[in-house]
A = this chain, B = another copy of it.
Amino acid sequence: MGRFQPFHLGHLAVVREILGERPGVPLILGIGTAEESFTWRNPFTAGERFEMIDRALHESALGPTLVVPLGDIRRHAQWVAYLKSMLPQFDRVYTNNPLTRLLFERAGYPVESPRLVQRSRFEGVHLRACLAADRGWRPLVPPAVAEYLGEIGAPARLAMLRPQRSAPSEEHTP
């Protein structure tokens, strides 16, 4: 589960690690906050993120995986029930997010924390700043994602969405 804004090498390493632990067992990747896009925090649409993941996994010949976009329901007490209704069958959860851990443990699921997840959580912000400056972002993402980010003009989009110093508390809204 992640927002994958964008999908980077940290995400890829986690996917490889989990798939390696249980070869042949499909991994479900939930794309969080799917309905949000064109904001600084979530610059890419769910479809664009799906495309990135699909290209990167294909490039690395990783699988089997299933990708599912997930909306924000804003009601944490129903979060587990929502995921159970939207996802194919699953029997364990991988996360380092303490709230996700709490909610799934309350519901009786085994929850595991891949060693690499924690680190990758902090790479998203840094990577978006690199994209906005169009500097140093290519080594942080899989080659297929780098190519795709170029195709869709990601650096220009990020530069435009970056919050300005003169009005730091306010996202751009159309």
Contact = CB atoms under 8 A, between A and B. Distances in A.
Copies in the complex: 6
Interface string A22-50: 00001000001011111100000111001
A51 interface: yes
A143 to B, nearest CB: 18
Contacts of A82: 75, 77-78
A137 interface: no
A120 interface: no
A172 B47 contact: no
Contact of A47 (B1, B35, B87, B102): B87
Interface stretch (A11-19, A65-73, A128-136): A65-73
Contacts of A81: 77-78, 80-81
Q: Which of A72, A87, A88: most chain B CB closer than 10 A?
A: A88
B161 A99 contact: yes
Contacts of A89: 47, 51
A98 interface: yes
Contacts of A87: 47, 50
